[in-house]
Amino acid sequence: MRRIIIAIDGYAATGKSTTARGVAEALDYLHIDSGAMYRAVAWYLWEQGIRKLQAEKLPEWLASFSLHLEREGKEMMVYVGDRRLEEELRRPEISAFASEVSAVLWVRQRLIAEQRRLGQHGGVVMDGRDIGTVVFPHAELKVFMCADIEARVQRRYQELLARGIPADPEAIRHQLLERDQRDENRPISPLRKAPDARVLDTTHLTIPQQIETVVNWAKELIYAPASF
């Protein structure tokens, strides 16, 4: 059986990571959340009291930064030093800061090299914003996820409430639109749909429906007759 690479890109709060995790579980693949790697860098800087990014100082600020991923079940867990990070990476301020961090070429080069190493043998589902365009441009299945802004606001709002984090829908809308602007217009690896990506509009879809759609697309490729 073929073990393919599934690259899932798209906007924030469209269900990328949850869908990717569900697809990986359904196919017995490894799920890698590339965004968590950038959020780990952002978290490390934030913990040092850094609030304003200065790209030229990043090598100095990150001189002692140690990121590694450990497979636990079907997930890759993120560690900075000896500390395992989970909920810390989902804080709104860390997500927003990660968008700035991810626009720095030096950071992207380091993390992209690690992402390619992790997925080089296939059997992975990786989600982010440049997986199908930059990290794995030859991935067998590329998915681009989008949704109406109101649906995205509600999803993020409910997600934060479920974590016990106070949330304001208007603030969330502003954050999402601001992030869209940064991601689409950054000079390095901007958010784009790969020409051969399949579009998945999740506005009116439940998470199980999103997972089912991507799994069906993947199975079309996995079980396709070999071509000679």
Type of residue at 35:
G
Copy the structure tokens of residue 18.
């949850």
The predicted structure's pLDDT at residue 122: 94
For the chain, which residues score pLDDT lower than 50?
Answer: none
Structure confidence at residue 186 (pLDDT)? 87
Domains of the chain: 5-222 (3.40.50.300)
What pLDDT does residue 72 have? 83
Q: Which helix (H) or strand (E) holds 198?
A: strand 198-201
Model pLDDT, residue 227? 61
The torsion of the CA quartet 126, 128, 133, 139, rounded to 10 degrees, works out to: 10
| pLDDT tens digits, 100-124 | 898 899 999 999 999 999 899 999 9
Q: For position 71, what pLDDT does the model report?
A: 82
pLDDT at residue 228 in the model: 53
**Are 145 and 43 in contact, with CB atoms under 8 Å apart?**
no
Q: Which has the closest alpha carbon to 180: 202, 209, 204, 148?
A: 148
Q: Which residues neighbour 139 within 8 Å (Cβ) at sequence distance 6 or greater?
A: 4, 5, 6, 7, 131, 132
In this prediction the pTM is 0.90
